Chain A
Amino acid sequence: MKILVPVKRVLDYNVKPRVKADGTGVDLANVKMSMNPFDEIGVEEAIRLKEKGVATEIVAVSVGPAKAQETLRTALAMGADRAILVQTDDEVEPLALAKIFKAIADAEQPGLVILGKQAIDGDNNQTGQMLAALTGWAQGTFASAVNVEGDHVSVTREVDGGLETVKLKLPAIVTTDLRLNEPRYASLPNIMKAKSKPLDTKTPADYGVDTTPRVKTVKVSEPPVRSAGVKVADVDELVAKLKAMGVHS
């Protein structure tokens, strides 16, 4: 089967985001950008399924600016076979993203679409579920294990109380959680090889999707700053503080 893996270029997870002084957003000029960590896990899972002989082809897809090509090249260097960049400088909401991925799924007919459970910039956690709704396919969200067995896939999900396993009819949508796998690093020869793998460039209009936002960001602000705390010298002082707070008598 073919596997589709959407990937997003986001602010690197190690970088502390800075809110712009005018409150219009987070400053993304001259900061390190990388592949969303949950998407790396998605690419890795697709590659493992290919190594097991379950998948035959892996198509990485990204919606974003021209620079999102770098993110797709990373996916290709890890082991994806080809890539599609849906180029736009606009910020695209999960609903519009899901509509673009639906159109690509219609054209590519994948057996499985593996997305990250959330992007670490918007923290929405929506695109996979929305794509599942639009395609009418089953969804296995927050996956920590994925097993394709014939015409269905078993997905173990990380839920509030622990783990649960669901069985989904294929084709299906899976979104990755952190513990699904540990993504591999792309080796230098593979990075070189990735440069010659096919990468198609499209636009949202090619898929007939209107990316006008439904939700407008009015303002972005810093979270409230916590006032400076005190350091205590020893356990006795800590116990006294706890007692003063009424935590323990």
Chain B
Amino acid sequence: MKTLVWVEHEGGALKDATLSAVTAASKLGEVHLIVAGAGVGGVAAEAAKIAGVGKVHVADDAAFDHALAENVAPLIVDLMGHHDAFVAPATSNGKNIAPRVAALLDVMQLSDILSVESADTFTRPTYAGNAIATVKTSDAKLVITVRGTAFEKAAKDGGSGTIEAVSSTGDKGLSSFVGAEIAKLERPELTSAKIIVSGGRALKDGPTFESTIFPLADKLGAAVGASRAAVDAGYVPNDYQVGQTGKIVAPEVYVAVGISGAIQHLAGMKDSKTIIAINKDEDAPIFQVADIGLVGDLFTVLPELAGKL
């Protein structure tokens, strides 16, 4: 089976989410990549080095800048003439584009897969991760998005893919990019961090969140996350949100501070290797999934913890 993997990139660099998708795709067969965007020669060169990659299709055109689904989907549909599966990481771009591609091919899409059982059978989470479904597709072509934390990342080098330019399908004139407000992160990126310190509603307000959570995160070299309650209350921007409706993470260590552990939040972090909970309510549901729990007031515990590390 020939698979076509969507290469996720930003600011001229390949993003790690691509590497997990490559691993998932390699379980299906030969791995080809599609790099779409404006001025993406560097990304294509980087992509060709990923271990196990065959052909790298490059579509370099301003129409593909910012990955507008209206322009990118027809490009992928064209390439699907000689591929059997389209695989994208379950990032906001992957989730935006893949279903549009699937419908244009008149096939169903498989969202957020956790494993490849065979060429037509996969597992995926439903009901906020409370039920794992094993699904078997009867479609001739596959369109899949991959949960990054469920697959190892393919090695970034060792590969020797061949780069091939593909002709542009052009600008469909339906949509245009206006602008972006990208949150500045001085810390590791949430979805690829080894350690995450997350804060909840108990942090009171933005400045308190920063003065309490950030020092501990910096001591641990950790990324900072948040519950939906903390985001809705405006303590931190929404791209910090971990949960069913935010980011799905599975770090080595997840430290949940002042987070009760609602179903919605657990869906985004319960596959973390070690979960540490700090909460003053000993009956908080978070303690049911925590490997290490400390019952105490976070405002005394956190400064002490940061001081002793």
- Chain A: residues with CB nearer than 8 A to chain B? 11, 13-14, 16-17, 19, 25-26, 93-95, 98, 120-134, 137-139, 141-142, 144, 154, 157-169, 177-179, 213-223, 226, 229-232, 234-236, 238-239, 241-242, 245, 247-248
Contact of B135 among A126, A128, A161, A216 (CB under 8 A): A216
Evaluate whether A223 and B136 lie within 8 angstroms (CB atoms) in the complex, with A13-B264, A126-B102, A165-B178 already known: no
* Mask of B72-107 contacts with A, CB within 8 angstroms, 1/0: 010000000000000000011101111111111011
Chain B: minimal CB distance from A36 (Å): 12
Taking a contact as CB atoms under 8 Å apart, the answer to whether B95 and A121 are in contact is no
Interface residue B64 (Cβ < 8 Å from any Cβ of A):
no
Q: B305 — which chain A residues lie within 8 A by C-beta? A: 235, 238-239
- Chain B: residues with CB nearer than 8 A to chain A? 10, 66, 68-70, 73, 91-93, 95-104, 106-112, 121, 125-139, 173-183, 191, 195, 219-220, 228, 231-232, 237-239, 244-245, 247, 252-253, 263-264, 270, 274-276, 287, 289-296, 301, 304-305, 308-309
> Which residue, B95, B125, B178, B253, has most C-beta atoms of chain A within 10 A?
B95
Q: A123 — which chain B residues lie within 8 A by C-beta? A: 111-112, 125-128, 244
Q: A178 — which chain B residues lie within 8 A by C-beta? A: 228, 232, 245
Taking a contact as CB atoms under 8 Å apart, the answer to whether B136 and A17 are in contact is no
Q: B308 — which chain A residues lie within 8 A by C-beta? A: 235-236, 239
CA distance A19 to B134 in the complex (A): 13
Sample 14 A-B pairs with CB under 8 A, ordered by A number.
Answer: A121-B127, A123-B112, A126-B111, A139-B96, A158-B92, A160-B191, A169-B174, A215-B139, A219-B134, A223-B131, A223-B132, A232-B293, A241-B292, A247-B252
Q: A93 — which chain B residues lie within 8 A by C-beta? A: 108
Q: A213 — which chain B residues lie within 8 A by C-beta? A: 108
Closest to A136 in B: B174
Number of A-B pairs, beta carbon distance below 8 Å: 246
CA distance A229 to B261 in the complex (A): 15
Contact of A129 among B69, B107, B135, B195 (CB under 8 A): B69
Closest to B185 in A: A161
> Which residue, A122, A179, A229, A239, has most C-beta atoms of chain B within 10 A?
A229
CA distance A95 to B237 in the complex (A): 33
Chain B: minimal CB distance from A174 (Å): 12
Taking a contact as CB atoms under 8 Å apart, the answer to whether A168 and B175 are in contact is yes
Taking a contact as CB atoms under 8 Å apart, the answer to whether B103 and A134 are in contact is yes
Chain A: minimal CB distance from B289 (Å): 5
CA distance A177 to B177 in the complex (A): 19
CA distance A177 to B237 in the complex (A): 14
Contact of B138 among A120, A215, A234 (CB under 8 A): A215
Chain B: minimal CB distance from A193 (Å): 31
Closest to A236 in B: B308
CA distance A165 to B177 in the complex (A): 6
Taking a contact as CB atoms under 8 Å apart, the answer to whether B111 and A26 are in contact is no
Closest to B231 in A: A179
CA distance A169 to B171 in the complex (A): 13
Q: A219 — which chain B residues lie within 8 A by C-beta? A: 133-134
Evaluate whether A139 and B92 lie within 8 angstroms (CB atoms) in the complex, with A220-B132, A235-B294, A239-B305 already known: no
CA distance A162 to B70 in the complex (A): 21
Chain A: minimal CB distance from B234 (Å): 10
Taking a contact as CB atoms under 8 Å apart, the answer to whether B121 and A164 are in contact is no
Q: A245 — which chain B residues lie within 8 A by C-beta? A: 253, 274
> Which residue, B103, B295, B296, has most C-beta atoms of chain A within 10 A?
B103
Chain B: minimal CB distance from A217 (Å): 5
CA distance A137 to B70 in the complex (A): 8
Chain A: minimal CB distance from B139 (Å): 5
CA distance A13 to B179 in the complex (A): 34
16 further A-B pairs in the complex, CB-CB below 8 A; given A13-B264, A160-B239, A214-B108: A25-B131, A95-B107, A120-B244, A121-B127, A130-B102, A131-B103, A132-B70, A133-B100, A139-B100, A159-B180, A159-B239, A160-B247, A164-B179, A177-B245, A220-B126, A229-B289
Taking a contact as CB atoms under 8 Å apart, the answer to whether B239 and A133 are in contact is no
CA distance A144 to B180 in the complex (A): 13
Q: B102 — which chain A residues lie within 8 A by C-beta? A: 95, 126, 130, 133
CA distance A238 to B278 in the complex (A): 10
Q: B70 — which chain A residues lie within 8 A by C-beta? A: 132, 138-139
Shortest Cβ-Cβ A-B pairs, 3 listed: A129-B99, A133-B103, A130-B103
Q: B232 — which chain A residues lie within 8 A by C-beta? A: 178-179
Q: B289 — which chain A residues lie within 8 A by C-beta? A: 226, 229
Taking a contact as CB atoms under 8 Å apart, the answer to whether A217 and B175 are in contact is no
